């Protein structure tokens, strides 16, 4: 297993994994991933097996905005490489590889890179059932976010260095 950053050639594999992990209303589409990879491939963290198959990945832009808003998902040009906050848009592990600690390993890598890059911290939104999972990594629940992404309720969580 190896964790690396993204490249444009990952676009089809990432789109397929996202479609397997999220309902259609929440899943990012190929065009979004293409734009994100063009603007911030280094803010994709991809765990692959020894054959180069992608098992788990995390992605998100960097911004000075303190809150994660829906417009960020589809507007990759909002990425600011020198921004204060590392946003996390998606955490995905292929279903048959879950509960092996892969998402946690990728997230720990994201946290350590964000720290090295002198960010203020990281921000994500998640469904209520995952608050405990991110809590174990140091994220603090700030309550229900304004997000209407996919028509469900999202909690905003923040890890501040």
Ligand X SMILES: CC(C)(COP(=O)(O)OP(=O)(O)OC[C@H]1O[C@@H](n2cnc3c(N)ncnc32)[C@H](O)[C@@H]1OP(=O)(O)O)[C@@H](O)C(=O)NCCC(=O)NCCS
Name the residues that contact ligand X, by CB under 6 A. Answer: 21-22, 56, 91-93, 98-104, 126, 130, 132-133
For ligand X, the closer of residues 74 and 81 by Cβ is 74
Shortest distance, CB of residue 22 to ligand X, whole angstroms?
A: 6
CA–chain centroid gap for 134, Å, is 12
- Hey, what are 26's tokens? 């929440």
| Cα distance between residue 47 and residue 67, in whole Å | 27
For ligand X, the closer of residues 8 and 152 by Cβ is 152
For ligand X, the closer of residues 7 and 127 by Cβ is 127
CB atoms within 10 A of CB 148: 10
Shortest distance, CB of residue 118 to ligand X, whole angstroms?
A: 25
Burial of 22 (0-12, 13-18, 19+ CB in 10 A): middle
Shortest distance, CB of residue 63 to ligand X, whole angstroms?
A: 18
């Amino acid at each position: 297993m190896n964790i690396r950053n993204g490249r444009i050639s990952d676009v089809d594999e990432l789109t397929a994994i996202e479609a397997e992990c999220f309902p259609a209303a929440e899943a990012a589409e190929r065009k979004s991933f293409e734009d994100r990879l063009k603007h911030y491939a280094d803010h994709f963290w991809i765990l692959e097996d020894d054959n180069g198959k992608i098992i788990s990945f995390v992605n998100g832009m960097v911004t000075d905005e303190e809150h994660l808003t829906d417009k960020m998902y589809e507007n990759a040009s909002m990425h600011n490489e020198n921004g204060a906050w590392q946003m996390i848009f998606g955490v995905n592990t292929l279903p048959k590889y879950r509960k092996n600690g892969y998402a946690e390993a990728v997230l720990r890598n994201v946290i350590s890179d964000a720290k090295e890059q002198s960010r203020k911290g990281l921000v994500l939104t998640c469904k209520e059932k995952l608050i405990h999972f991110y809590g174990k990594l140091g994220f603090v629940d700030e309550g229900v976010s304004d997000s209407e992404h996919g028509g469900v309720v999202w909690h905003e969580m923040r890890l501040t260095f």
